[in-house]
Each structure stands twice: as structure tokens, then as C-alpha cells.
Amino acid sequence: MSESAKLASKAGGSAGAAVRVAGAGAAPVRRSGRRPGGADTRQAILEAARAEFAGAGYDTVTIRGIAARAKVDPALVHHYFGTKETLFGAALELPVRPREVFAEGLAAGRDRLGATVVRRFLETWEPADTRVRLVAMLRSATTNDAAMDMIRELLAREVFEPITDALGVSDAPLRATLVASQLIGLALSRYISRLEPLASASIDQLVAAVGPTLQRYLTGEISATDPRGSAR
């Protein structure tokens, strides 16, 4: 090999080594706009799912839409939750346990149970970050049978059973469903339909108005009677 060729080869090798060294210290290129998998990714997906379900209901929401809101790849949504149905169930997790609410009500006095339940219900759902779960639940229930089935199971487990256990009377299941009907109707009117002046009423006003109705459902007389006073 000629002297000039040797010099050119040496120069080329030095330049290649310099490029390799520079490349070794460079930060890896990452696609912008996407959240990597990590400790907070699951929570971000849940929050995005609640917002999507609250805004559009179960049928309209897609995994891709949830992923876009959470700024993650759709594959990560499937990784953490598998299916939309599983994700919906996880997003419905209640921020308070009804069993604890009824225990508080009984501790405050059986005659105050209705007022306690209404107050705790409203105080739980008033903050915007928890209200989105209730709105997602109610909107989805009105648009999809599978979502309704899941919500029915949730109510049975988290609402009906605690009331039945707390009351300990033979007609407790009927009383529990009456309480649920009142609270769900209140939530629909206040937080979704936003019927005025109910939507702007204070918690104290609603406790005073609705509390006595729940109290009758929980501890009062609910059996039908004929004019002679005998139960039917």
C-alpha cells in the first residue's frame, strides 16, 4: 500500500472512532408526546378513562381515545387493563365505601341515618375530581347494557348489601333499592341534567329536603295498608 493510502486509511479510522465515541454518549432518541410506561402510567390511564366515559358514555369511548388523552401508546392500555370492559370496571372504583357511611350514620344515631347518608353522598361527589366517576357511571349505564350490568353488580356489592346488613330487617333489600333510587335520581338531576334550582342548591338545603325521605325508606313504615289499616 502506498504511503498516501495508509495515511487516508488512518484518517478515516480516526474519524470513525470519533463518531462512535460521540454516539456512545448521546441520549437515546424518544418519540415526543407519548408517556413511557412507569409507576404513574396506570393512574394516568384511569384518569383519562374516567374523563372519556364521563364525556361520551361507554359505547362511544375507544381504547385509542383513552390512550390519546393519557398520552400513552394504546398497547400500554391493553397491557395494564386488557379490555375496555375491564378498564371501565377499574374506573368505577368508589372513592368512599357505603358500608363505612352507614356505620357512621348508625353511630350518629339511627334517627339521623337518612340525613347522614345524604350529606356524605353529596360531600363525596361534589369535588370535580371524584364527580367525574359518578358522571361516567351514570352516562355509561344509560347507553350500554354491559355497563349497566357492571353498575348493577357494583350497587349490589357496595350499596345494597351494606344497607341490608346495617338494618337487619326482613324488608331491607327493598329499603336498600329505594335508597339507591333516591340517590341516583338526585345525582342525575344535580350533576348531569343540572336541573335548577336543584343543581345550585346547597348541601344543607338538600340534606333538609331529601334526608327525611331516606330516613323513612331506612327506618319508617313502607308497607302498603288498606283503609282498615291492615297491611297488603
- For residue 153, give the CATH number of its domain: 1.10.357.10
Distances (CA, A) of 207 to 71, 114, 193, 210: 41, 8, 20, 5
Question: Are 184 and 143 contained in the same domain?
Answer: yes
Q: Is residue 207 part of a domain?
A: yes
Q: Which amino acid is at 4?
A: S
Domain termination residue (choose one: 91, 108, 126): 91
Model confidence over 36-74: pLDDT tens digits? 556 689 989 988 988 888 887 888 889 999 999 999 999
Give the residue ranges of DSSP H helices in 82-192.
Answer: 84-91, 98-108, 113-125, 128-141, 145-155, 161-167, 172-187
Distance CA(72)–CA(66), nearest Å, equals 9
Domain around 68: 41-91
Q: Is residue 83 part of a domain?
A: yes
Half-sphere exposure in the Cβ direction for 139 (13 Å, CA): 22
Q: Is residue 18 part of a domain?
A: no
How many distinct helices (H) and strands (E) make up the chain?
12, 0
Model confidence over 197-213: pLDDT tens digits? 999 999 999 999 999 99
Question: Are 144 and 178 contained in the same domain?
Answer: yes
CATH code, domain carrying 72: 1.10.10.60
Task: Write out residues in the chain with pLDDT < 50, as ranges.
Answer: 5-8, 15, 17-32, 226-227, 231-232
- Tell me how far apart the terminal alpha carbons of the chain are, to the nearest angstrom: 114
- Number of domains present in the structure of the chain: 2
Q: Is residue 21 part of a domain?
A: no
pLDDT value for 28 = 46
Task: Classify residue 104 by burial, with Cβ atoms within 10 Å: 0-12, 13-18, 19+.
Answer: middle
pLDDT value for 115 = 92
pLDDT value for 53 = 84
Distances (CA, A) of 180 to 105, 135, 201: 16, 16, 20
Question: Are 202 and 129 contained in the same domain?
Answer: yes
pLDDT value for 9 = 53
Question: Are 211 and 186 contained in the same domain?
Answer: yes
pLDDT value for 152 = 80
